[in-house]
Structures are given as C-alpha cells and as structure tokens.
Structure 1
C-alpha cells in the first residue's frame, strides 16, 4: 500500500509557525494537487513529505510506516523539481540511471528500467544526447524518467511546469496525467496554477497561510466553494463577488447591492437584512430583458469565448459568453444571473451559506 497520511502536521521556524495542523489523507494510487498562492506552505508541506524539511509536530505516514525521522533516501519516494536538476556532463540515459547505479542495482535491471521509462516518455531517440541538446519539455521528461526508473511508492512534483511556455505546459500536464493513469502511482503535485490543479487532480487541496481551506474533487470545489478564498482562487476567470444585503420580495430571496437586485437560489438559507457577499461566475450571467442594467466597458474576444467587463451598480462585473455577441464600449445591456448557480457567503466570516 502507498497511501500517504498527513496528520496534524505543523512546521515552525523558531517562533514563526508556517504550517498549522494540516490533515490530508491521500489514497493509494490517487493524484492529489496542493494548490494556493505563493507563500501558502504547499512546497514546504511537500518537502516535509519528502524528508527535505523537518516536522515540528504531527505525523506523516507513507504506507503503514511513520516517516517523520526516516531519511529521504529511505522513504521510497521520487521527486521532480521545478528546475530539472540534470547533470550536464551526463547523457540522458546516464541521468536517468544515476540513482539506480548509486544503489548498485544490477546493470541489466538498470538498462531495462531506463529503456522502459524512455519508451513511456518518448525519449528513446534522445538517450545518447546531453541535456544541453534537448528542449525544455524534453529535459522535463528526463527528470520525470529519472523518477520513474526508481519505481517508487509515491511521486512528488514541485511546480514542474513553471519554467515551460504556455503551449508546452498544456502538453506536459496532459502527459503527466496520462503517465499517472498508466502507472497508477500515488502522486502529490504542487502548483500555484489553479488551471493545472483543475485539469490534473483527482482531488485538490486548497491552502492559504499554512492552513487547509478545502479538499475535494475539482468540480466539487468549483461548484461548491467553502468560502470566499476558494471561490476566488478556483476558476478562471475568477468569480464575481458583490457585497449587499438580503431582501425578500414576494417570498423569494434577493441580494440588494445599490440599485441592483440579484436572485438567490433556494439552496441558500438566508434571512431578511442579512449582510452577505453574492458570488456569480462569469459564465452564469446571461443576456435577458429582466436583468440588471449595465454599460459595456472592455470587450475581450478569445475566439471560442468573449469576455465582457460591464459597469453596473458602481462596480465592474465580468460576463463570459460562448455565443458570438457584437458588443461595443458604452453599450447598455441587461444581465441576469442564473438563480441556482449563485453563491452566497456570510458577510462577516466569508463562509458559504
């Protein structure tokens, strides 16, 4: 078994505590992504799982073994870093084989594992090249191949795609996901890019300031964010957030924000006069005669979608349309939020109602 259990894990540097009692259960074969803004503690947490950072409190188990005091080399993990960390004087095949040679693995086994990993990653034609003769994507594949040949219980990825251009990042995240589907090795992946998290993860762990904000499947977090932080961090473009008060009209709940009335879905238990933050994703706004009025500001067509910034009720609201609309700056339009797609958060705590 290669499940990973993080139990009440804490990390402090002197009096400064940066990881505050984190609990995460990662099942055998699961692909879990740790996501959050810079400085939230995701890389520190990964490094504690790897054994590269000491643990101030709590326990980390890999399989059935507590590894708090186990050296990194004995944890049966393999890590892929943001920097490729390849040996420039070694050919690809030697870079991939290096860790096995250090363990004095039988040369025939080394050759077999290198050949197998190279075949999986499409590196067979490049085995006799040096890293300087490879593209960025090929170097990242070599770093992944070096991890694969070890046949570890757990793969750890620390922002491995940050140094690649946008097109190559899309390609590489697909390849990493396909690799996981083929090998079915437990994987913990760190990124600050929520699009990477949404497209790759079985489950996402959202971190902020060393605390877990929410854990769940990508669409679960997207559809039911636990609080304002998760609502704004997950989803691109970000959710529109509008502060207001609850108003009951004809037995139906609305959020009154200036001269704008925003419909609240029946799943939210709200009361008259309650201070809340209303959330609506850009794609859940539609053109309708009975919507609120706003003026078109900036129009950003991307081909498959059109993003429109609308000034309404003293604030800018972003709408996203997959249909082709010919908007022009200054044009007056009416937008209606889809009632059941609306989110409501407590005005004081920021927690979902």
Structure 2
C-alpha cells in the first residue's frame, strides 16, 4: 500500500478543522496514512498526548512565552526531527502543514534528496505577517523578521504543490510559488445544522450577539465592546460568549464598564449544547485586530454554518464574501455606527435572506463536499490522472 505522511506541529487543534478531512481523502486514494506531530500543546502550554494508532509524536522543548527563544528552539527541533524521521520512513506523499517556518527549510531539503516523493506545503498562517504585535516592535525586529520570512519564501517553491488557507495568503505569496500547482482550500466543518437553529426571538426585544471561539490577543476587544455599546444604545443588547482565553476577563470587564449585559457560557464543544445558545442569537461577531493578516477564520466558518449573519472586520476573503453574498456587514473603527444602523433597520424578510445567504456560503466554500471536490482536483494535478 502507498504511504502518505501528514506533518503538523499542532495536531491538537488542527485535527477537527482540517486533518480529519485530509486523512479521509488520502485513505480514499488508497494511502496508508501516518500523522507526525509534536508532544507540546501550544494553546494550553502543556504536554500533548494522542491515542490514535497512526500518530507519531516527536519530543520538543516546551516553552511558556509565545515570543521567546525557547519557542524558536522548539520549532527548530521539531522541523529537524521530522526530516530525520522521514529519512527512516518510506513515504510516497508528504503533506506538510505550516508554520513553523523552519518546516519549509528542512522539508525543502528533504524534497531535494527525494525527488520521487510528492511534497505539499499547506500555508495555514503567515509568520511573521500575522503576528499580533505593534508596528514599533515590527520595526525593531525588522531584520530578524526578514530572516524568519525568508525561511518560507526561499523554500516554498521546492514543493510539488501548495495549499493556501485563504485567497489572501495566495495573493501575498504569489510571487514566491514560482508557478507551483496551488489551490485555496478553506477550513471545514461537518454539517450538523437543522431547522431548530432558526432564530428564537427574545420576548423582550433584546438583540443577542454571539462571540464563539478563543478569546485571545488576536481579537480587537475595544472594537467589539464599542460595537456592543452602540447596539445597546439603540436596542437592549446581550453578548452570548462561547469560549475562553487570555482576553476573557478583559472583554467581560469592559462590557461591564460599558453597561452591556453578557452571559459567559465557557467552552462548549457539543453541537446540541451549542445549539441552545446559538438559537437565541441574531448576529455573530467576527472581529480581530487590524494588524492580524488573515482572510478567513474558524469563527466565520462556525457562524456561517449555523446560519448566523456576521459582523465582520476581517479583510480579504471574508470581507469579499460578505459583500458578494450579503450575509452580514463589514465594519471598521471609523464606520461601525453607520453599518450597525443599517443592520438594525432590516425587516424580517431581509434578515431571513441574510441567514439563508450565510448557509449558502457555508455550503459553497466550507462544507466537506466543497473541500473534497477541490482537494481531488488539486491532487490530480499533482499526481496525474488515475
């Protein structure tokens, strides 16, 4: 049997949104699939374990700070170890999810030494472009950041194919791929939607806004709270929170200071339990810092799957989708009031059209069927006709 190897440093939070579908696809093509990952859970800063039989875990140095020499050494260690492991393991197809950027360097070397092995790079994030750091720090770290970026840019063309998580990433890196076969494949979620997700109007006229996902240093807490405060001036508003993170307390404290009611449900992973909260909600918040370079988020996928119109400030793919499909509104720090006024003026028919549009976007771009279809086209370009 042919062997395919999936490489990811962050299996603990990549598996359900990407790798499970990639693994199923490769199995359908007759591959025996192995996954290589690290023994460190970056999000929770603790050791990672897996009970899956086809997962190989490589030991790496642990770290506590996201911006630290020890984190760099951890990523370097993982990338080196992956190449050494692959030298001992015969693979026909190697699919590498990046970052870390060191993977581009070491897997580029691996490809040069194994020309018969098909190597794919998936660009899941851009480092350092998407790092949530100030312009001042970026200027101070200009030279190290150039070196960091060139680990990717100088080696990306060595792959047989490139998968981009969004069109924005492809546009940014287009000059680096040197006409390599490439495709945009969005994050994916199984369809568990049913009619009961339709809006359950609050009896007292409250507008319920949903925030779902990690509450981390990538989100723009101030713009979220300003949006909530303006909503609350116009109509009684409540923020429904599903998730947690290092910015949770700040978000809730600023809501309290602004007189905005919120309900913190914590982390919910079960779809039936999510449904109880989501069925109360009218709109969903998809708001991140301007300094973050991203075109589509897991949050927006979740929202659109549940048929919730989004209040969005993400540029690139999501901004265009909102404009083209009219499944919500795009806001910025300078014009959120005007856009919210328009949202508050929609009648029931217009609102249902937005909800239906959200579901259409999910089906077209984010459903498993869409993923498998595009992945098959990409695969055939890499392998050739079967």
Higher strand share: 1
Provide TM-score, normalisation by structure 1.
0.28
**CA radius of gyration, larger in:** 1
Provide TM-score, normalisation by structure 2.
0.27
